[in-house]
Each structure stands twice: as C-alpha cells, then as structure tokens.
Amino acid sequence: MTTTYPQPPYEPELEDFLDKFPFPRLTTLEQVAALRADPLKSFSFHPDTLIAGRPITHTERHVPSMYEGDPDILLSIFSRNSSHDTLRPCIYWVHGGGMMMGDRFGGLDRSLECVNDFDCLLISVEYRLAPDHPDPAPVHDSYAGLYWVGEHLEELGIDPERLLIGGGSAGGGIAAGTALMARDLKGPKLCGQLLSSPMLDDRNVTVSTMQFEDKAMWCRATNIMAWNALLSNKAGQEGVSIYAAPARAKNLEGLPETFIGVGSCGLFRDEDVLYAMKLWAGGVQAEIHVYPGGTHGFETFKPKIGISVAAIEDERRWLRKMLELKAVPSKKEEMVVEIAAL
C-alpha cells in the first residue's frame, strides 16, 4: 500500500492554470499515441516558427550512430546570422516528453534566446521514443549525437572548453545519462550540465512521487507508465542501467558543473534534490533551486509570472557564467595573427 502525503500549496496563478487547463492523466499508451498525433499538445513546432523574427539560422545534419544496427541521428543546429572569428560555446539540447513524446524542436524557446544573447550554437538531438524504442535507444541516440559533435568541434566552430549539455524533464534525465556515458566512456568533455526538472529515478519511492496524483502537470500514474514504457515493464526492478535512470548511480564523481531547477510541487522534486546531494558527495560543483509552489514545467507553461521569471533568470545567469568565458580564437584568426607577425 502506497503512503499518501499532503501536497505543499501551489503558487496561486499556477493552481488557477491547472484548474482551467488540466494536464491529461496519461495511463495508457493509446492516450500517448493520441497526444503524439497532435503537434500542439505534444509541444512540437516547425523550426521556421521557432526562429521567426530571430536572427538565427537552422540547419540539419544526419550523423552516424556509433552503435551497430542503430539508425543515423538527426541533429538540428541553430546559430546566429553573423560571421565569426572566434570559437563559440555550444548547448547540446535533449528535448522532454516523458521518454514517449516530443521532438527536437520542443522546449527550445529559452535556449534560442541564448543563441542570440550569448552567440552560442544550439544543437538539438532527435532521439527514438519509447515504447517503440525502449532503453537504451534514447540515451544511445543522445550520446551518439554528442560524440559526433565532440569529433567535429573545429568544423562546427565550437570552443572545446565550452560544450554544455542540457535538457528538460525526460530530456533532463537523458542529458544526465548522456553526461554519465561521456564520463565513463572518456567521451566529449562537458563544461556543464543544465537539468531542468529532470526525470531521473524509475523507482517512484520518494515522498514527492507520492504527493501528486490528481492535480498535477505530471502525476504518479503517468510517471510509472512512462518508466515502464522506457524499461519494458521493468521499472523499479534490479538491473536498471544508470544511463537510463541516473538516480541509480552511486558515484557521480567526475561529472561537470551542474544546474538543477525544479518546483516544490513537481513530482521530480525529491529525486532532483537527492541527485544534487550525490553530486556534492562526488566533489562536483552543483547549484539547485527549488521554487516554492512551482509545478512540473511551470516556467514553460506560465513564463511571465513572478516565480517563472525568477527561475528563468537563475538559469540564464548560470548559463552566462558557463558560456561567457574567454573567447578562443578560431584557426582563421590564428593564421591572421601569425601572418601579421611575420
């Protein structure tokens, strides 16, 4: 029998939003399929819509998987419309959607602002979705895309000291798993990981996973269903990979500096706090914010309210610190300097 706990209070504007626009309580894969078929409800947008009015260019690259039998990986690359004589920072982004929905264009608004404001590249990966493609497909696709980026830094004009991974919700969990793979496989060097309300733990045993069932952006029943879709109905059992469920990792030593943001009324609250504690125990610099009254994904659904403005500014401040390091000259600029010195 599952113990029940009282919910902490929602921020009033978010509670009103939940009353007017309740998020569907997903308990069947048929419901997921119906959401997938609706681009608006699955948070899918056309790239031209995303960059409209922004001085940003979008290109696509099909890159090979590093796993035998897996298909190529599709990457979307966003960059500012200007020439560059310095190597730029890069955000490698993993979209959310409960491991079962969404595409590489979901949740990019805040990251696209960074492309313009910080003059960075944004690379968003298209990964295969559960249950059609269960673990390890999503994290394998994410890591294969990151590996390719790491092997083509000069071609892409990326500063090797400023490659950062990020993701929201399920994408935050996959990003965390990808960072663990990069550590363990001696893969691309990451300067940081930005985890926004990350989905990290398949076991559903924390207090916060038992507090949000009926009135929630992402409820316990949906979370259990999503993890079982990813793990072929083995959620909570022994033998689950740390790359699929990063909360299972015992040692987080060697991971990059980390930012975690989560709402106090989000189902992932406790697993995210515990992950930050594990990062500190592993000697990793980690910053975590728990926003009082915040639902899961509150800053995406209601970005203009006070709590969301604060959360977005915290995220941007951290990204600015990580990405606005000393600019590294490109090979072209180095050649100009060398010729001038002759």
Rounded to two decimals, the pTM is: 0.93
pLDDT, averaged across the chain:
92
* Nearest alpha carbon to residue 245 among 258, 232, 236: 236
Kindly report, residue by residue over 49-106, the tens digit of the pLDDT. 889 889 999 999 999 999 999 999 999 999 999 866 789 999 999 999 999 999 999 9
pLDDT at residue 337 is higher than 50: no
pLDDT at residue 342 is higher than 60: no
* pLDDT for residue 329: 56
Domains and CATH numbers, the chain: 12-341 (3.40.50.1820)
pLDDT at residue 330 is higher than 80: no
* Nearest alpha carbon to residue 178 among 92, 111, 100: 92
Distances (CA, A) of 125 to 20, 48, 202: 33, 17, 23
Kindly report, residue by residue over 199-241, the tens digit of the pLDDT. 999 999 999 999 998 789 999 999 999 999 999 999 999 999 9
Structure tokens that stand for 273 in this block: 């706090």
pLDDT at residue 3 is higher than 50: yes
Poorest-pLDDT segment among 144-148, 318-322, 324-328: 324-328
